[in-house]
Every structure is written in structure tokens, then in C-alpha cells.
Amino acid sequence: MLKGKLKLPDKAKRAFPDRLGSLVAGFEDKEEENRGSDLVFESGEELETIQPNGYGSGGESENDEDDEDYDEKVDRESDLRIRPKPEREGPGSVSVLAAIAADDKRSDLEYELSQPEINLEKLQRIASSGLPDGGGLRATAWKSQLTRKKVGALSYCDHPADGVVAGPLKRHEISEEDHPLSLGKASVWHQYFQHTEIAEQIDRDLQRTHPDLKFFSGDSSFSRKHRESMRSILLLFAKLNPVIRYVQGMNEVLAPIYYVFSTDTNEQNAANAEADSFSCFVRLLSDSVDHFCEQLDNSAVGILSTLSRLSELLKANDEELWRHLEFTTKVKPQYYAFRWITLLLTQEFNFQCIMRIWDSLLSSPYGVQDMLLKICCAMLLCVKSRLLSGDFVANLKLLQNYPDINIEHLLQVARDLSSDPSTYRLSLTL
């Protein structure tokens, strides 16, 4: 424990939440005697987690509708902001210098986002080291970085839905093919049943989306509202992309985008979360939509080509590990990295870590896929010793259930890698 008392400068105070006092045991008792002086923490005092005043755990509010917004706010904070303190961290882990640095980063970010014309290069440089939670800054930064992408001509796997005609509707005679019992693929009834099947699949997947977060799961009115919005986004995407339609796992890619946009502190922005999420979801998938198209698996833009690039990157960076996985244990990238790449690592880490990783993905000046492959390669390098000592079963289990890791260290290893394997000069000791 720290000895004596710690006085915080004014700038550091601003970096802490306004309600910090309610987190410190005994703070209210000391407030009177310390009034008019600097904020003081007695040695030995511990931070306590906020309890949601009984909401959502045991009892129910007498006015559920009136308290809906409050419950949603409490649930979000309980899900993401209140976490037990790891035992290995000492009492000095929350440093004043780190708080000041975070405050400076927030100020820099607010300044860049307030400019009439945003400098994307500066924004990417700030975002690559992580965006601050709260205040809507992450939502604004993600939108700025995603909307810079131009969605041009897509592959033949994407084309407009048939039968879309501009102008007033006209009555047509029902052909034999459009009989409700017709099995023809062009039948409107076939399309209706297909749409119903997709909707049911989306509903099942949304029920399983981050079940540990009340924002997405549960029977509360706000969680149902969020699932309904995500359902509309995924159904519209499937309708506009009839060849790909909906592929299981797209719900996981949409979840971080929708969460960040719908929790924006700007009420108008939050109200437009569904539309903004759809737009950014389409732009994000424009880089990897071919990974979901089975017809393109063996093409230059298919998932097998991307897995091959990952293998080549690993070979250039650590040939010993590459040979062990490729020839000794025969653990091919398609056994573990298929999910990593198609779902943008959303199944490998907790939600808070996912958002931090996505800060780096979206801020990469070379594109999401480039940074994604670097992170995947870094994930292999960071568990090199365990992989070299493991056999096929042990290594497959390790990579399909990736262990907890220091995210900042992982991202630093990824940043130190080069997109072009021939220019790689980093030496790692793992």
C-alpha cells in the first residue's frame, strides 16, 4: 500500500469520473474535513464496485418503464466498466501519470474530431493506441474511419436482388411457378420461405450474442429492442446480398459496431444507431465479404487465399514455428484461423478487449485485413513456446480456445510486424 496521503493535481482530478468519491470507502465521512482542500486518499482505502441498487439482480422497480433508461445505463456499466481487480495488480496500478496521459489523449481526440475537416492520419495515429470509453468518442472515431472507405464494385457474389423494379406496382397474373406449393427457386413463395428461414437463423444467433452482457441478452425491454434493431440490419443485408444472404457469425461482427453507436452519449447519434450501424457494417464487410462466399473459396480473394497469406507471414517471421505447425503437428491455419479472420477476432476475446483490438483494426492506414493478419500472426508468436511443446491435439485446443493475454503487448507485437514478409526485421524472444 502507498504510505501517507496522495494528493491529485487539478488535471488528474478531471481525468477521474465525477462519482469517484462514491467508489472510495469512507469518502463521504472525510469530505467535510477535507472541504476546500485538495482531493485526498488515505492509505489503505480500497475502491469498491458500484452495486446497481438492487436493480436487475433480485427485486424489481415499482416503476419499470420510468426506470428503463436508468437500468440500461447501470447494466452497461456493470457489464463493461465494473470488473474485479486482479490479485496480481498492486495498489499503485492506477497511476496519476496514466490518468493524465488518458486525459491528454481525450483532449487531442476531441480536438481532431471537432475540426471542420478531420485529419484521418492524425485520427488513426491516436486511435491506434486505443480510444477512451464513454463520451461517444469511440463511436465518432469509428464512423469517421469506416465512412472513409468507398464501397465500389463488389465481386460477382454480390448483385442486386432480382425483381427490384422502380415505379408503381402493377398487378400480374399468378403463374404456375408462383403457386404456394411450387418448388421452383424463382417462385415468390420459395423466396418467402427462404426469408423466413434466414430470419429464424438470425433470431437464434442473436439470442446467443454475448450472453454475458445484459445489453444483448435477457428479457428486458431494452435488450429486446437492441436485438430487434440488429435483426433488422442483418435481414436487410441478407435481402440486398441474395447470393451470400446471412452467414452465421455476422451477428458477432455487427455487435461491437451496434453497441458503440447505440451507447453514444449524444442522444441524436444514439437514436440513429441502427442506420449508422448498417452503413458501417456494410463498409466493414466490403473488405472481407468474399470470405463468406463459398464459390470464391479457392479464388485469389477467397478465404483460403487469406489463410495462405497468414501462413506466409508466419513463415517469414518465425520459420521454426511455421514448420512445427505445418509439418510436425500438421495444424493448418484453416483449423483455427478461419474463425479468427471471418469474425474479426470477436470470438477469441472478451468484449472490452474486442473493442480495443478494433480500435487498431479500424485505424490501420493499410486496411482492416492487413492489421488483422498481423494480429493473427502475433497471436501465434505470443504462444510460441507452448505450441512448440505441443502435439496436434494440444495445439489445436490451445488455438481454438486462445488464452488470456495482455492485449497491449499483443498489439505491440502485431504493430512491429511488416505487411511485406521480406522486410521483416523484428527479433522476438518468447
Q: Does residue 140 register a pLDDT over 80?
A: yes
Classify residue 177 as exposed, middle or buried by CB count within 10 Å of its CB (0-12, 13-18, 19+): middle
Q: Find the CATH number of the domain harbouring 381.
A: 1.10.472.80
Between residues 203 and 76, which one has the greater pLDDT? 203
Are 333 and 235 members of one domain? no
pTM of the predicted model, to two decimals? 0.71
Least confident of 67-71, 137-141, 186-190, 415-419: 67-71
Task: Name the residue type at position 406.
Answer: N
User: How many domains, in total, are found in the chain?
Assistant: 3
* Domain final residue pick, 242, 269, 287: 287
Closest CA to 132 of 157, 98, 109, 155: 109
Distance (Å, whole) CA 333 – CA 310: 8
One domain, residues 272 and 346: no
In-domain check, residue 195: yes
- Domain coverage including residue 391: 294-425
**Phi/psi at 118 (nearest 5 deg)?**
-75, 130
Q: List own/partner pairs for 288-292 with CB under 8 A and 24 or more apart.
A: 288/341, 288/342, 288/344, 288/368, 288/369, 289/154, 289/155, 289/157, 289/158, 289/241, 289/244, 290/155, 290/157, 291/341, 291/342, 292/244, 292/247, 292/250, 292/342
273 C-beta neighbours (distance < 10 Å), count: 21
For the stretch 271-306, pLDDT in tens is 999 999 999 999 999 888 788 887 778 788 889 999
Q: Does residue 38 lie in a domain region?
A: no
Beta bridge partners of 47: 24
Do 226 and 190 contact (CB within 8 A), yes or no?
Answer: no
For residues 221 and 327, membership in a common domain is answered with: no
- Sequence length of the chain is 430
Q: How confident is the model over 35-49, as a mean pLDDT?
A: 42
- Of the three residues 258, 287, 316, the one that is the final residue of a domain is 287
244 lies in the same domain as 352: no
Q: What's the rounded Cα separation, in Å, for the pair 320 and 329?
A: 12
Question: In terms of domains, do 298 and 253 share one?
Answer: no
pLDDT at res. 269: 94
Q: Please give the angle made by the CA atoms of 227, 191 and 170, to the nearest 5 degrees.
A: 110
